[in-house]
Structure formats: structure tokens, C-alpha cells
């Protein structure tokens, strides 16, 4: 057996302070194994901490520009005014890539104009909550794009058109499409850009007769901030 002492290599001498080579090799290997285990623990802990830091919920607040398509088959040339509206959405991540998003706002009052009559003919209010299933694309620390597909329900209230001579359906169901991106700012905060196409329409009644369909079908451009927790 070979031993190591302070003076060099000796064969067959097992004096005090001499260390067998086999034991020195075992000790070195144990240190490497321990170091590797500690490194794996730290990496796993960091990954877990990041996952815990980004919880399953995300809340965004946006300013949204509503731009109506104003499709009309009544012959009145109906249109509503474009405007900026506030919007809040709550997302829940089912997995790393899939999330469900509920989009909310407050009831919006809008003015209805008739190009055929050449004037404003009334006002209405609508509340358009939207539910979307989103797919968030993988990203390595940068911008996080996503797409969404879902359904919109719009409730029309306070309809006052030509002093009640013209009416609308009170409910509208339609699809919704979404494209957006979350840009990391700091911590759990994100800058959000979002575009949606929402399909909203109503039959138009003159008295009790169905005069045609008015399609709002707006495109909504949004910018805001989001927080993941």
C-alpha cells in the first residue's frame, strides 16, 4: 500500500501523520459529491422560488380604445362613438402555458348616430364582460406573447333612441379573439399590450317590426400594467 507523508512516498510504512492514497481519494470524491448535491439543491430551490414568486394569478389594469365596426343593415346608417374605456382583467394560470382570463369594465354609455338622418338619434349603455382561454408562449426572460379565444356577453340597457321609437335586443352573445404581450418591468410587474376583436350585435326594432341588424363588432386596443402573484 502507498502512503503519503510530509516527506514524500514510502512503501510499507504506516507511521503517524501518514495518509493512505485510497483514503485521500475517497475523501476527495466525497467532497465533490457533497458539492454537487449542494449545487443541485440551490438550483432547485431557486427554480422553486421563482415558480412560487410567479403564482397562478395575474391582474391587469388597462386603458382601452374602443373602435366600432358599425355594420348596419337597417338603412339608417347607424354608428356609435369611439371612446377610451377602463378595463380590468383577472387571469388564472391552469399550467405554465394555459390561462383563463375574465375581462371586466363598468357600464359604458355611448351615443348612437344615423348617417341617413344626419344627426345623433339617441344613447345606450352596455356592459360587455368577456371570458377567454389563453395560450402563453414560452419565453426566456423577455417579452411573453399570448393569444386568446373566448366568448363575450353584452347587456344593453338604458336604450333611448328617437324617444323610444327604435329599440334593440337587450342581450348579445358572440365570440372574442385576442393577441397580446406582457413585458417584464421589475419584480412581478409587467407592461401589457393587448388587442381584441369582439363580436357584438343586436336586432333593431322600429316599433315592433324588425328593421335589421346593427353590428358593433369593436376592435379594442389596450395598454396597461399587470401584476403576477
pLDDT reported for residue 137: 96
Asked if 42 and 139 sit in the same domain, the reply is: no
What is the C-alpha separation between 76 and 44, in angstroms, rounded?
65
Nearest-5° Cα angle at 159, 154 to 165: 135
Counting the structural domains of the chain, the total is 2
Where does the pLDDT of residue 120 fall: very low under 50, low under 70, confident under 90, or very high at 90 and above?
very high
Reply yes or no on whether the pLDDT at 19 is more than 80: no
**Entry pTM:** 0.75
In the chain, how long is the greatest CA-to-CA distance?
A: 115
Asked if 182 and 222 sit in the same domain, the reply is: yes
Closest CA to 68 of 85, 82, 84: 82
pLDDT reported for residue 23: 52
pLDDT reported for residue 64: 98
> For 125-144, how does the pLDDT look when each residue is reduced to its tens digit (9 = 90+)?
999 999 999 999 998 878 99
Asked if 22 and 79 sit in the same domain, the reply is: no
Asked if 28 and 80 sit in the same domain, the reply is: no
Reply yes or no on whether the pLDDT at 43 is more than 60: no
Asked if 12 and 99 sit in the same domain, the reply is: no
Average pLDDT over residues 66-83: 96
Average pLDDT taken over every residue of the chain: 85
Where does the pLDDT of residue 9 fall: very low under 50, low under 70, confident under 90, or very high at 90 and above?
very low
pLDDT reported for residue 210: 96
Asked if 61 and 37 sit in the same domain, the reply is: no
pLDDT reported for residue 129: 97
Cβ partners under 8 Å of residue 18, min gap 6: 3, 4, 5, 10
pLDDT reported for residue 139: 84
3-state secondary structure 30-87: HHHHHHHHHHHHHHHHHHHHHHHHCCCEEEEEEEEEEECCCEECCCCCEEECCEEEEE
CATH classification at residue 213: 2.40.160.20
The mean-pLDDT minimum among 12-21, 88-97, 182-191 falls in: 12-21
| CB distance 162 to 125 below 8 Å | no
pLDDT reported for residue 141: 72
Asked if 11 and 95 sit in the same domain, the reply is: no
Asked if 6 and 107 sit in the same domain, the reply is: no
What is the C-alpha separation between 57 and 101, in angstroms, rounded?
10
Task: Supply the range of the domain harboring residue 86.
Answer: 55-228
Reply yes or no on whether the pLDDT at 68 is more than 70: yes
Asked if 139 and 209 sit in the same domain, the reply is: yes
Percent of the chain with pLDDT over 90: 74
Looking at 50, 65, 86, the residue that finishes a domain is 50
Q: Is the four-CA dihedral 9, 14, 15, 19 of positive or negative sign?
A: positive
Asked if 81 and 94 sit in the same domain, the reply is: yes
Asked if 26 and 86 sit in the same domain, the reply is: no
> For 20-42, how does the pLDDT look when each residue is reduced to its tens digit (9 = 90+)?
545 544 545 455 545 444 443 44
Where does the pLDDT of residue 104 fall: very low under 50, low under 70, confident under 90, or very high at 90 and above?
very high
Asked if 124 and 218 sit in the same domain, the reply is: yes
Amino acid at each position: 500500500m502507498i502512503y503519503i507523508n510530509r516527506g514524500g512516498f514510502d512503501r510499507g510504512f504506516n507511521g503517524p501523520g501518514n495518509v493512505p492514497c485510497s483514503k485521500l481519494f475517497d475523501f476527495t470524491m466525497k467532497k465533490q459529491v457533497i458539492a454537487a448535491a449542494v449545487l443541485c439543491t440551490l438550483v432547485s430551490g431557486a427554480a422553486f422560488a421563482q415558480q412560487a414568486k410567479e403564482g397562478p394569478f395575474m391582474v391587469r389594469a388597462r386603458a382601452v380604445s374602443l373602435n366600432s365596426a358599425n355594420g348596419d343593415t337597417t338603412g339608417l346608417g347607424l354608428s356609435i362613438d369611439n371612446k377610451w374605456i377602463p378595463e380590468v382583467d383577472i387571469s388564472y394560470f391552469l399550467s405554465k402555458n394555459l390561462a383563463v382570463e375574465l375581462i371586466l369594465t363598468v357600464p359604458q354609455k355611448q351615443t348612437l348616430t344615423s348617417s341617413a338622418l344626419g344627426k345623433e338619434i339617441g344613447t345606450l349603455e352596455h356592459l360587455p364582460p368577456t371570458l377567454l382561454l389563453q395560450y402563453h408562449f414560452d419565453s426566456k426572460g423577455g417579452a411573453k406573447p399570448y393569444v386568446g379565444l373566448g366568448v363575450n356577453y353584452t347587456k344593453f340597457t338604458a336604450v333611448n333612441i328617437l324617444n323610444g321609437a327604435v329599440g334593440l335586443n337587450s342581450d348579445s352573445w358572440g365570440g372574442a379573439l385576442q393577441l397580446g404581450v406582457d413585458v417584464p418591468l421589475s419584480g412581478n410587474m409587467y407592461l401589457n399590450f393587448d388587442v381584441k376583436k369582439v363580436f357584438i350585435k343586436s336586432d333593431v326594432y322600429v316599433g315592433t317590426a324588425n328593421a335589421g341588424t346593427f353590428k358593433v363588432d369593436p376592435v379594442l386596443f389596450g395598454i396597461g400594467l399587470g401584476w403576477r402573484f
